[in-house]
Structure 1
């Protein structure tokens, strides 16, 4: 009997299943250093203990997307090892900062299943929660994945979950003690505060990064993401390794520093779509649209809802006349961040 793990197929999932994912991960300063080496990340709150302490935190937390990638990576062997595509995200909330020394674990609950009409694959919805060593939830999100079927056969009854279009401002979790009352705009890198942005404003982040094979594979290994399409060039008919979608998310978020340097903490993930595949050699650029602005109860802290688009094309271009994503668009991400008022 084989001792290796072939991964889960569509038939293996049932609504209500709870999966505890293997291999806890203790986060260290090494993850931060590698993250900042892989991406042009320059957020002051994530670069300096002293800056973070003036904002009321114990020290500089690790970048929010380190938390996301680590929690996500734990789920891959159980959720998306046999995935055709990662289709989307919803209802994501960062619940508390993660610091060097914290140990993260992941578990997922299956909340929806639906077989595709071709009978060869189906969509699985899961709600994943990441926890620290004290049992505190640090992150929760929903994602849905198209997964191959093992073979022909009857399909389970379709269950499609009802998901919120966006996390409401009142449901955003502000880290304990966070205050931007003494925020240093000079050290942060830009003078723009929440009141300087207008709903509907488009920000071209100008810079671009060309994706390299070695970098994206290093990043994917860093997060212990075992999805075959990211490593095995024989797994796709075109012989290409697919760039992990999270790599594109981090590139775009880091590029958005130019114009959004004071969008310091991601606190919610409202929606997301990997619109088109990304491959080594592609040059990724980014632009953002301001979708909403809200107040919080924390001193000097406001919330800004942003659409972040990673593209190989022009800023502001998203969909064609047919309503479909343009072929140059790689990522369409809707998220909330905290910003000084």
Structure 2
């Protein structure tokens, strides 16, 4: 009997320069926002209120930047990471246009790098993914690299190609949404009075609160984003019998927690880099802190850019991320470097 199901790609199935068109396009609505805000303590005003967004120069409240990211990311999973061992990192991420309810998103990925691991059982695949709307406008793009199993251990190793990626996006690389204007910004409605000028490079902000990861909420989230990676659903897929929490779930949880101290870091505009430092499982309590890495002015009225390092931990620690051996400490779950837009 002929098999018609998709077993997913293995490392030997990827070709350098290949462009993959991902199924299935998805029209987003206010339902995505409602579920996103039910899953995470997300409270940034620009994504919560049409009236606040209009007062900031936008036609309405966009879909949360990370909700849009998860939709675009989820499209890629059946072709990129269905047989992944782990999602290793991100770079050169840019949010280019806001996504609004009613927009239809689809994703494409280009294979830009390949490197077989020394054990011959897996390899790292580098892809540049773009999310497009119904007008074929690129709304976001990012690079990620994934460790993927080999199916045929005798398949020859491809030529090693590791792409040269920017370690950090410059503020000039960021795309500011058309019309964004923070000159009439309402700090009372936003929830905090701290503006761009109140933050200093090197400042560390403890976001204080924590959220315990629930298995059921993670299952809802991964289904919402149509993320079909086996490690997130099938408890028999890992030797320890645990379902791995989707890294994006941790990113969204940490970003939502960062409201406490960064309520006015309204929009994510760029992703410089990121690492899922240690696996996350249900029952762990996520806490977060941020470090201010850089600041820059933008051409948009009243809008500044702030570069932040967002760290999520399972042990509540603030400070050192790595041990003497250079490896992440076991309590570190996420190390994310991003640019956000904030009123000056």
Matches within 5 A, 1:270-289: 270-289=272-291
Matches within 5 A, 1:1-341: 1-153=2-154, 154-313=156-315, 314-341=317-344
User: How big is each residue's C-alpha offset from its partner over 1:56-83, in whole Å with a ceiling of 9 and x where there is no partner?
Assistant: 0000001000110000000000000000
* Cα drift, residue 126 of structure 1: 0.2
SS across alignment from 1:238: coil
User: How big is each residue's C-alpha offset from its partner over 1:27-78, in whole Å with a ceiling of 9 and x where there is no partner?
Assistant: 0000000000000000000000000000000000010001100000000000
**How far, CA to CA, are the matches of 2:112 and 2:326 in structure 1?**
29
**How far, CA to CA, are the matches of 1:12 and 1:151 in structure 2?**
10
* Cα drift, residue 322 of structure 1: 2.0
* Cα drift, residue 316 of structure 1: 2.0
* Cα drift, residue 150 of structure 1: 1.0
**How far, CA to CA, are the matches of 2:320 and 2:55 in structure 1?**
39
**How far, CA to CA, are the matches of 2:87 and 2:22 in structure 1?**
18
SS across alignment from 1:106: strand
* Cα drift, residue 85 of structure 1: 0.5
SS across alignment from 1:216: helix
* Cα drift, residue 224 of structure 1: 0.1
Bigger mean CA offset, 312-321 vs 153-162:
312-321
SS across alignment from 1:127: strand
The answer for unaligned runs of 5 or more in structure 1 is: none
**How far, CA to CA, are the matches of 2:324 and 2:205 in structure 1?**
22
**How far, CA to CA, are the matches of 1:79 and 1:339 in structure 2?**
34
User: How big is each residue's C-alpha offset from its partner over 1:226-261, in whole Å with a ceiling of 9 and x where there is no partner?
Assistant: 000101000001110000000000000000000000
SS across alignment from 1:98: coil
**How far, CA to CA, are the matches of 2:85 and 2:63 in structure 1?**
31
**How far, CA to CA, are the matches of 1:335 and 1:316 in structure 2?**
18
The answer for unaligned runs of 5 or more in structure 2 is: none
SS across alignment from 1:117: coil
**How far, CA to CA, are the matches of 1:166 and 1:69 in structure 2?**
22
Q: How many residues align?
A: 341
* Cα drift, residue 176 of structure 1: 0.2
Query: Normalization by structure 2: what TM-score?
Result: 0.99
* Cα drift, residue 328 of structure 1: 0.3
SS across alignment from 1:36: helix
**How far, CA to CA, are the matches of 1:322 and 1:11 in structure 2?**
32
**How far, CA to CA, are the matches of 1:175 and 1:336 in structure 2?**
14
**How far, CA to CA, are the matches of 1:36 and 1:317 in structure 2?**
31
Q: Which runs of 4+ in 1 moved over 3 A?
A: none
* Cα drift, residue 321 of structure 1: 2.1
User: How big is each residue's C-alpha offset from its partner over 1:162-203, in whole Å with a ceiling of 9 and x where there is no partner?
Assistant: 000011111100000000000000000000001110111110
